[in-house]
Amino acid sequence: MSQHTKVAPPTGLEETDSVTLTRFVLHEQRKHPESQGDLTLLLTSVQLACKVTDSCVRKAGIAKLYGLAGGGNVSGDLQQKLDVISNETFKVNIESSQKVAVMVSEEEELPIVVEKHNRGKYGIAFDPLDGSSNIDSNVTIGSIFSIFHLPDAENIQTTEDAARQIMQPGRKIVAAGYAMYGSATNLVLSFGNGVHGFTLDPSLGEFVLTHPNIRIPRRGKIYSVNEGNCKNWDKSVTQYIHSLKFPSEGKSPYSLRYIGSMVADVHRTLLYGGIFCYPADKKNPNGKLRLLYEGAPMAFLMEQAGGKASTGTENILDIQPHSIHQRTPVFMGSYEDVCDLESFCKSAS
Ligand code: AHM
Ligand code: MG
């Protein structure tokens, strides 16, 4: 991704090679005068958390930040040192924006209820460092977030109140996105008005618009799944993946690409098309990925880019969460590819 490519910005912004994320968010904010700049300030704090996390990831080897922190998170995953650092970074920066009342993190068992004097009307769910088992081998990792408007932020008192208010279906997301710490650092986000990608210019310390209005191809040629789990898959998933590898006469088989970092696999799928899958299986009846801060925000971006996201039988954006760390099977990507997968699931049932 060239950092200085001249791109056509969304309507209303002048054609320039330096539409920064801050300028872009301010421009979007003008379309929602009722929000009084709150979302802009919140996204500025998320942006800063991503930049700090990026800086820690870049120097991890030198600063001895590789390796385990010595604890585990709520899902039973071993926490890496960078998991702990990025979680603190996200919490501190976002709370200081004074625009949220509730934070849900993959690294925290309970929702965090922000003190009344620091509170705003939004709730945010985040995975501060996704794919962290890949950290030590320098494979691309990322951060994922979804932002919701809370119905009654002022009256939240307990963690139960907080969970009840933030457990909203993905359709209600106000803004979602991810940062990707790869060969370059990208921030991809949507306010429900298309998907826009930014690249961090390290010399400026600014995210610059490089990928306006990302549209996923209607059909792709790549599938992405941990095929090592196939012995435990449902028959419908096995048959679907088989159909990609052994297509009917005259069609080419799909290529397989699997990084094992959701952000990187979803980013490639958004740009090139195809399907990313983390199915349910006999060992994990709801799959592995979490709904509030992995499945739903990525599903929101996919749909905003013209793609689709499904559990196999239901649109991921329609799921009403019943717990903050709930898991969901995930199939997302090009619209026609996800429809094909759904028809295999339908005929199996
Ligand atoms: P994490 O949140 O503990 O990092 O786990 C989520 C990651 C995703 O980034 C990725 O899609 C998946 O786990 C890979 O899992 P697997 O190693 O089972 O293929
Ligand atoms: Mg994760």
Res 65: pLDDT: 66
The rounded average pLDDT for each run of 10 residues, N- to C-terminus, in the chain (349 residues) is 50 68 86 79 96 89 66 64 91 97 96 96 97 86 97 97 98 97 96 95 94 97 97 97 96 97 98 98 95 98 98 98 98 98 91
Q: 240 and 144 share a domain?
A: no
Give the SS3 label for residue 219: coil
16 Cα: distance to centroid of ligand 2 (angstroms): 35
Q: Tell me how far apart the alpha carbons of residues 19 and 37 are, in angstroms, rounded to a whole number.
A: 19
Q: 55 and 174 share a domain?
A: yes
324 CB within 6 A, ligand 1: no
Res 31: pLDDT: 75
289 Cα: distance to centroid of ligand 1 (angstroms): 7
Q: Tell me how far apart the alpha carbons of residues 125 and 344 are, in angstroms, rounded to a whole number.
A: 32
Give the SS3 label for residue 299: helix
- Here the CATH number for the domain that contains residue 75 is 3.30.540.10
Give every CB contact of residue 307 below 8 A, 6+ residues apart in sequence. Answer: 216, 269, 270, 332, 333, 334, 335, 338
Residue 118 lies in a domain: yes
Structural domain that includes position 241: 222-348
Q: 244 and 158 share a domain?
A: no
Closest CA to 51 of 23, 18, 21, 95: 21
Q: 111 and 162 share a domain?
A: yes
Nearest atom within ligand 1 for CA of residue 129: 4
| Phi, psi for 211 (deg, rounded to 5) | -130, 75
Residue 265 lies in a domain: yes
Q: Tell me how far apart the alpha carbons of residues 258 and 276 are, in angstroms, rounded to a whole number.
A: 9
Residue 25 lies in a domain: no
Q: 175 and 233 share a domain?
A: no
Tally the domains of the chain: 2
Q: 179 and 239 share a domain?
A: no
Boundary-marking domain end, from 183, 209, 244: 183
Nearest atom within ligand 1 for CA of residue 289: 6
Q: Which of 57, 231, 261, 266 should be mutated for ligand 1, with most atoms under 8 A from CB?
A: 261
Q: 58 and 178 share a domain?
A: yes
Q: 243 and 105 share a domain?
A: no
Q: 55 and 179 share a domain?
A: yes
Q: 162 and 44 share a domain?
A: yes
225 Cα: distance to centroid of ligand 2 (angstroms): 16
Q: Tell me how far apart the alpha carbons of residues 107 and 118 are, in angstroms, rounded to a whole number.
A: 22
Res 9: pLDDT: 63
Q: Tell me how far apart the alpha carbons of residues 10 and 16 are, in angstroms, rounded to a whole number.
A: 11
337 CB within 6 A, ligand 1: no
Closest CA to 341 of 260, 295, 290, 276: 276
Res 83: pLDDT: 85
- Here the CATH number for the domain that contains residue 274 is 3.40.190.80
How large is the C-alpha radius of gyration of the chain? 20
Q: 45 and 175 share a domain?
A: yes
Give the SS3 label for residue 228: helix
Res 4: pLDDT: 43
